[in-house]
Structure 1
Amino acid sequence: MRTEDFDCQACGACCAYSEEWPRFSLESDEDLAKIPEAYVSADLSGMRCESDRCVALEGTLGLHVGCRIYAVRPIVCRDCMPGDPECLMARDRLTETLQQHLHGAAQETPGEPS
């Protein structure tokens, strides 16, 4: 299947893949200055993440998300294409994470501490 055959699912997988991503690469100083400081990592190397999730991401992973800085997002985010290898890898990882979470929740006994 070609990447053109995929639509973005707005699942957030690409923005919740790694605490090391997204990294800045080819942005000009002018472009970087447009990104609000609250969303930039302390070492200025990329977007700030909490766990594996970019802090600019809002919404519920796996359901529907959006980017708070979509208009000024980094190049690596602009280059992310629905259905490309990175997208598919991120979707697979998100699916595994959600399944593990659901499986763990199903095994908890009501009334017992989790």
Structure 2
Amino acid sequence: MAGNAIEAADASPCQSCGACCSYSANWPRFTIEDDAQLDLIPAQFVNARQSGMRCEGDRCSALSGKIGEATRCEVYAVRPEVCRTCLPGDAECAMARRRHGLPLIASAQPD
């Protein structure tokens, strides 16, 4: 059973991190989404100005779990574009992981 948990973390380091979703209340902003895409995000996760995700402090309200251990996005399938563009090991990931005292991870390099 422990092997499966390790394999899952290796397959998606984001599921054992969540740092990018708890970095800044100003980061999870809507940018290129159209109204139909935004309507798919449950209202309780959208801020009062409807300009981005609602945050509790610096943490996105759609993030559940403990940073650096096990996290998940409650709206993963309909998350905003800004959330989709942050990739494991990229500059934004590294910045967020440093802020939370987590070790950096290697970014995936194209073949």
TM-score in terms of structure 2 length: 0.78
Structure 1 segments of 4+ aligned residues over 2 angstroms from their partners: 6-10
TM-score in terms of structure 1 length: 0.76
- Structure with greater Cα Rg: 1
Query: Which sections of structure 2, spanning at least 5 residues, go unmatched?
Result: 1-10, 103-111
Residue number in structure 1 paired with 2:13: 8
Q: 2:71 aligns with which of 65, 85, 103?
A: 65
Amino acid corresponding to residue 43 of structure 1 in structure 2: R
Structure 1 vs Structure 2: percent identity of aligned residues? 55
**What is the alpha-carbon root mean square deviation over aligned residues?**
1.5
Deviations along 1:25-80, whole A, 9 cap, x unmatched?
00011000000000000011100000110000000111110000000000000111
Q: Distance in 2 between matches of 1:89 and 1:13?
A: 9
Q: Distance in 1 between matches of 2:26 and 2:13?
A: 22
Give how far 1:9 is off: 4.2
Amino acid corresponding to residue 8 of structure 1 in structure 2: P
Query: Which sections of structure 1, spanning at least 5 residues, go unmatched?
Result: 1-5, 97-114
The alignment of Structure 1 onto Structure 2 pairs a total of residues equal to 91
Kept after mapping to 2: 8 A contact 1:7/1:83: no
